[in-house]
Amino acid sequence: MNRYPITIDENGCAVLCTALRQQLGDTVVVTLGKDRSLQFYSAAEWSAGLDRLTPEALRRMRPMIASAAQLDLAADAVSLPAALLAYAQLEGSAVLHEEEGCWYLCAE
């Protein structure tokens, strides 16, 4: 399992190491995850996942979909949306880890 410590500053910015950015890709979608975490998807994974959902599944997943934000990882630091940080109760130290092919950001 890949694990990366992340520091989130008072403005909601997180610095991601080069190795992590290479694994995640240039653009990610971040949204509500399980157990008060944030879940990261590559833009391609997110789009393909939405295309596979039935209308009923789309209705059930509306909070997750509505909360999603697209982030550009071209720079070393990325600004995380305040609403997502509040949901995950993230400030200061966090960890981004891969679990069964999915990436989650959660408090340490």
The string of pLDDT tens digits covering residues 28-80 is 999 999 889 999 998 888 999 999 999 999 999 999 999 999 999 888 889 99
Residue 5 has pLDDT above 70, yes or no: yes
Which domain range does residue 33 map to? 3-107
Torsion sign, CA atoms 76, 68, 93, 91 = positive
**What pLDDT shows up at residue 99?**
87
**3-class state of residue 76 by DSSP:** coil
- Give me the number of domains the chain comprises: 1
Domain harbouring 101, CATH code: 3.40.1550.20
CA torsion 14-15-19-20 (nearest 10°) is: 0
pTM, rounded to two decimals? 0.87
- Mark 87-100 as b/e (b = at least 16 C-beta within 10 Å): bbebeeebebbbee
- Residue bearing the bigger pLDDT, 54 or 16: 54
**What pLDDT shows up at residue 10?**
92
Helices (H), 1-108: 18-24, 43-52, 55-60, 62-67, 82-88
pLDDT band at 1; cut points 50, 70, 90:
low
In whole numbers, what is the pLDDT of the chain averaged over residues? Answer: 90
